[in-house]
Structure 1
Amino acid sequence: MQSDAAKANPSTAFPGTGAGDGAGGPSWYPPLLISADDLGARFLEPALRDEALALMERITPDPYTDYVSAFMREGARRFGPGWRYADIITVLLGLSDVLKPRSYLEIGVRRGRSLCAVASRAPSCHLFGFDMWQAGYAGIENPGPDFVRGELERVGHQGPLTFVNGDSHKTLPEFFARNPEQRFDLITVDGDHSAEGARQDLLDVLPYLAVGGAVVFDDIDHPTHPELLDVWNRTVADNPCFSSWSFRGLGYGVSFALRRF
């Protein structure tokens, strides 16, 4: 069965190619109709930044979201509408608009900000959140799944919600062993920040990303985790199965890639 992401804008079957239209003709190209670079450029538009700010006003504030909101507002104030910025929230908002995901997997839920970004755009999406719920993670209160459920209610999520608690290096293989046919329209990897751990999370989920779907990888420009950019490049960006885009130079950086085939 073709996933919803495979029917969305990035990968709509081109009429007459035989890619899903029953024509029986050749499929000369992989099914993407837009590149990650093209989408990434759109995700830098000021309107999406304003929508990210509006989202953070809807959810429970914490010191980090307050800081990021102030950073974004000050950048726009000082440098005007041409100021370019992207992070995991602007990217997830943009991808959710384009892909209209029915299924979303996230590694590293924490307080639910990224889940809320997807849910605010795709309220019926089935959300799968994998986390260890470490107390005081990164110096900020980490209340757990019930808190995240409340955050999702704030942004109007109406779809199914599945939390998988524990170490992703154990829970992901177990989950996919039980659900080998599962495919996701959108995936975020933002859990284990060690080089080997992040690489393993990517390798565990990439086979289950639908063609035309997107995988998001955070913190590629984080000064404490400089190895993450190399992990992304070696595992995803250099892989011809993907069309990849990255933003660096401000904040902690973010990447995403569309699956071509």
Structure 2
Amino acid sequence: MKKIALVTGGSRGIGKAICIELAKHLDLHILINYNSNEAAAKDTLAQIEAFGGSAEILKCDVSNAEDVEKTLNIWQTNNPEQGISILINNAGITKDGLFMWMPEADWSSVFNTSVNGFFNMTQKVIQPMMLQKFGRIINIVSLSGLHGQAGQTNYSAAKGAIISATKALSKEVAKKGVTVNAVAPGFITSDMTKDLDQTQLKKQIPANRFGEPEEVAHLVAFLASEKASYITGEIISISGGI
């Protein structure tokens, strides 16, 4: 029986690349979580099935605790012999702007998706992982959470909170065979960066290019594998040297 991996925000960009990588190279059954873009989720599913991989779509809003609870309870009822062994907390949004003029809604929505999403999903799966003495929790954060970024105080704060949570939670669950790590991408080609001036930004990157979602996915797949069982509490940057 295949292990189950749940990827939040798995329909596009980095999340999509992670879903495909985990299905193809670790032979996992993938739960592709999405909130609004059903067409993109179906495309991810189709790409996985095209090479013989195994996946299904799981719609829910990670920031809504009741929605997460209901969705995962239904899935578990329909799959009583299985459990989620790998959780990739990838879902996140940006609402950029200078802090002094930032609407409260832009602060709350970014924080709710990233931080509450992490809490809602992780708390739901952590106990079964500990009982089975195996688990991988991988949080997709950002260089903004490590260093801060002007115009992204809300996003930097949200990702910084998850970075700290990663370090703390890893200490609570390590004895039970559960690892908790975070991956901090720099500038990666995706919907989130499509409007940025790459020509100017490349000057800040020693590698002189944006990264690709697949490069992030390769790192995530390693951390999700058995080979990474002694790596926990780490924040690994993938940024071309920034």
Deviation at 1:149, TM superposition (A): 2.1
Kindly indicate which of the two structures has a greater share of residues assigned to helix.
2
| TM-score normalised according to structure 2 size | 0.50
Identify the residue that residue 184 of structure 1 maps to in structure 2: 84
Listed one character per residue, the Cα deviations across residues 22-53 of structure 1 (whole Å, up to 9, x for unaligned) are: xxxxxxxxxxxxxxxxxxxxxxxxxxxxxxxx
User: Where do residues 226-241 of structure 1 align in structure 2 (5 Å cutoff)?
Assistant: 226-239=156-169, 240-241=171-172
Cα deviation digits, residues 138-172 of structure 1 (max 9, x gap): xxxx8423311221134431x3x221224232431
Change (3 A) 1:173 1:151: same
C-alpha distance in 1 between matches for 2:92 and 2:159: 14
Unaligned 5+ segments in structure 2 are 94-109, 174-178, 189-215, 233-242
The one-letter code sitting in structure 2 at the alignment partner of 1:165 is K
CA displacement at 1:244 relative to structure 2: 4.5
Aligned position for 2:114:
198
Superposition RMSD on alpha carbons, in Å? Answer: 3.4
After the TM superposition, which parts of structure 1 deviate over 4 Å for at least 4 consecutive aligned residues? 242-250, 252-260
Return 5+ residue gaps in structure 1 as ranges. Answer: 5-100, 135-141
| Change in 2 beyond 3 A, CA 1:120/1:226 | same
Q: Which amino acid aligns with 1:217?
A: N
1:167 corresponds to which residue?
61
* Residue 214 (1) aligns with residue 136 (2): yes
Could you tell me how far apart the structure 1 residues matched to 2:35 and 2:185 are?
A: 30
Aligned mate of 2:36, from 133, 137, 144: 133
Work out whether residues 166 and 182 of structure 2, in 8 Å CA contact, stay in contact via their aligned partners in 1.
Answer: no
Q: How many equivalent residue pairs? A: 151
Q: Which of 14, 23, 36 in structure 2 is aligned with 1:119?
A: 23
TM-score scaled by structure 1?
0.47
Change (3 A) 1:144 1:233: closer
Which AA in structure 1 matches 2:172?
A: C
Question: 1:104 aligns to what?
Answer: 5
Specify the SS of the correspondent of 1:130: strand
SS in 2 for 1:186: strand
Q: Work out the percentage of aligned pairs sharing the same amino acid.
A: 7
